[in-house]
A and B are shown apart, each in its own frame.
Chain A
Amino acid sequence: MLSIGQPQIKLLEKLCNALSVSGDEGEVRRIVLEEVKPYADEVKVDALGSVLVRKRAERSRSALRILLDAHMDEIGFMIVNDDGDGLYQFKPVGGIDERHLPGKQVIVGRDHTVGVIGAKPIHLTTSSELEHTLSADTLRIDLGEGGASIGDRATFATKFRRVGPSILSKAIDDRIGIAILIELLKHAPKNIELCLSFSVQEEVGLRGAKVAAHYFEPDLAIAVDSTPARDLPHYEGAENFTYNTRLGFGPAIYMANSSTLDDPRLVRFLAETAEKHKIKYQFRQPGGGGTNAGAIQQARTGVPVVSVSVPHRYTHSPVSIARVEDWKNTLNLLHEALQDVTPSLVKSRQ
């Protein structure tokens, strides 16, 4: 079994603290390139900025070509106007609930300059104003004296933390997938041709993965992402039927979401692999949402896909929370599956 130790935690911390908003993924790309180069047979940065990595099989003729995808980008903001006096108008990049904005620190631009998004004092706020959310249009990023340029990207300033059984970060979605892919490359099974796409622009429409899948032309693909866990207690004590996933219950295997009906052969295979190796796993409740699998399945003549996610609470907020144990089990489920997989899997009928 592969383990999560200090080197893995340190790498995830570095990945999580990077500022890598969709369309400007340079910081994470540099870390990924540095990590994968010693282990890969082929590394390239494609037309959109994704990092594409290949590790060949020992006997390549009969080997399955398997694509694993994780996205390098995160949700955030773009500076769109300089109002003067150190204040900047900004627009969200990706799905951000504007209720998370006021009262937060953000980092802006290549230097990670810290700014704040404030709010009007409660003393000057009327009771009817208190009933309405503060719309993003009325808020500003305050940088003191200034220094940002239009087009600069920004995101929440929250720093990575390890607390008890958990990790807390602004960008668990999907740096944890990036960390898993890097670790799998370092322990690449020799029976398959392992293709990795560290893709860009997932949060704004699954763009990087679409062209990466075209390039690799894989026999099958797995999107490795992080999915919401809504496993909180009901306010009135009722049973929570809509948890999506639960922390501590292991990797979440997808069966259906808005963009994908995951290939039943792959779903079954992953579940059987988990059972065989006694790895804790869970099925994500079928429902909305989407991953890069939705784009990958449409590449060329079609690709059998499945998504596997590490569950985390508080998606696209200043701080998400995941469990180290779920990370470890996801890594190991994928590692075992890649070792156990045979070409017959995708030749069999669904």
Chain B
Amino acid sequence: MNDILPFLKSMISVAGLSGYEAPIADLIHKQWTPLADSVSRSRLGSIHALKSGSVSIASPRPSVLISAHMDSIGLMVSRIADSFLHVTNIGGVDPRVLPGTPVTVHASKTGEELYGVIVMPPATLLPEGKGSGVIGLPYLLIDMGLTPAEVAKRVEIGDRISFATEPVEMSGGLLSGHSLDNRASVAALTVCLEELQNKKHDWDIFAVASIQEETTALGAITSAFQLRPTIAIALDTTYGSGPGASGYETFPLGKGLTLGIGPNNHPFLYKRMKEVAARVEIPVKDEPMPEYSLTDADYMQLTAEGIPTLLVSIPLRYMHTPVEMVALKDIQRAGRLLAEFTASLEADFMNKIVWD
């Protein structure tokens, strides 16, 4: 099995904000090309890789779509004041993790990637009551160390800003960096495609790196419609237990994956996934999600006439901060589990779905 770490590190070293996925998409497209029978882009930029199933199965072959979103949260320039940038958020950003964070400003006027840092202005320069305690996103600034003239030549309102915190390999087989939500899952899906090179599978498999999950799930909605799979799996990250996060929603790093239980998760897919996990000895835990999953799964399920869907997740600490953390072992496990699951899908699997 190839070591997935170098690819994952390269994925969290490039930008790919929601609505601006081109840099990360190019990287994934290249990596998946030798692993699939065809790789294409949707009209909106999601990547569709097809690994065809067994020719002995009557056409149209059943298909499984596995979606891992490739976009990440970030910021956007909302106002330029002297040499400083005001920003707004793309996706769910907690402003409390931002002061002192290094960022890359994607300067549209010159195409440059500019280094910058998110800063808190002194209280005396903010409106009454806004300068103490938590400094809200509208009041934070980005300083690039440039003069007003240098900034005016390069940066425009609407320019994207991504985190620039560098990936760091930690002891214990852990990796920390920004955008591991959800590049960790893209890495796992890559492992899955690698595993399938030597496996026989009846079903067609669509590996999808979807766009804009962090904002509107636009990629999942449109790719599920276009590819119209028989069943769909969303692969995403879930809350890792750690400092400040210890509730039922959290799961330890390095101890295995989670399977969703709740209205977005088809009980029969859950059952099969659990059986396969037990057979290949991959630890999985039940992740209760009583109303919704907040992932691509929620949208794929409601596509066209409806699609049986399941969410598989990799625990990740400090989600949506620039220092997210994940266990490489769990990524390998997710890749292997999905490969085993898809290879297990027999031609008449759908006929075996019984409700009561």
Contacts and interface: CB of A to CB of B under 8 A. Distances in A.
Interface of A: 86-87, 97, 99-100, 102-105, 114-125, 130-134, 138-140, 142-147, 156, 158, 161, 163-168, 230, 232-236, 240, 242, 248, 313-314, 317-319, 321
A117 B145 CA distance: 25
A142 B239 CA distance: 16
Nearest to A120: B244
A122 B146 contact: no
11 contacts: A103-B322, A114-B170, A119-B94, A124-B245, A142-B176, A142-B317, A144-B172, A158-B102, A161-B115, A318-B102, A321-B117
A318 B127 CA distance: 25
Contact of B130 (A120, A145, A235): A235
B124 interface: yes
Contacts of B100: 100, 104, 156, 314, 317-319
B98 interface: yes
Contact of A145 (B171, B239, B245, B249): B171
Interface residues of B, number: 62
Q: Is the interface of A mostly helix, strand, loop or mixed?
A: loop
Interface of B: 81-82, 84, 92-94, 96-102, 114-115, 117, 119-122, 124-127, 130, 133-135, 139, 141, 143-147, 150, 165-166, 168, 170-172, 174, 176, 239, 242-245, 247, 249-250, 294, 317-325
Given A116-B318, A118-B321, A138-B243, A235 B127 contact: yes
A17 to B, nearest CB: 14
Nearest to B320: A122
Q: Is the interface of B mostly helix, strand, loop or mixed?
A: loop
Given A122-B320, A314-B143, 14 more contacts: A105-B166, A105-B168, A120-B243, A123-B319, A147-B171, A232-B82, A233-B125, A235-B121, A242-B122, A242-B125, A248-B147, A313-B143, A317-B120, A321-B143
Given A118-B323, A130-B134, A235-B127, A143 B249 contact: no
A316 to B, nearest CB: 10
A131 B134 CA distance: 6
A119 B318 contact: yes
A140 B242 CA distance: 9
A142 B320 CA distance: 16
Given A123-B294, A144-B170, A99 B125 contact: no
Q: Which 3 A-B pairs have the closest CB atoms?
A: A144-B170, A118-B318, A103-B97
A242 B124 contact: yes
Nearest to A131: B134
A120 to B, nearest CB: 4
Contact of B247 (A104, A124, A134, A240): A124
A166 B150 CA distance: 12
Nearest to B321: A103
Contacts of A131: 133-134
Contact of B172 (A86, A103, A120): A86
Could you say which of B139, B141, B172, B249 has the most chain A C-beta atoms within 10 Å of its C-beta? B172
Contacts of A139: 243-244
Nearest to B316: A121
B244 A138 contact: yes
A121 B172 contact: no
A166 B244 contact: no
B320 A317 contact: no
A102 B150 contact: no
Nearest to A322: B145
Contacts of B317: 118, 142
Contacts of B171: 86, 143-147
B296 to A, nearest CB: 15
Could you say which of B120, B125, B143 has the most chain A C-beta atoms within 10 Å of its C-beta? B125
A116 B92 contact: no
Given A168-B145, A319-B117, A235 B139 contact: yes
Nearest to B82: A233
Given A145-B171, A165-B146, A105 B323 contact: yes
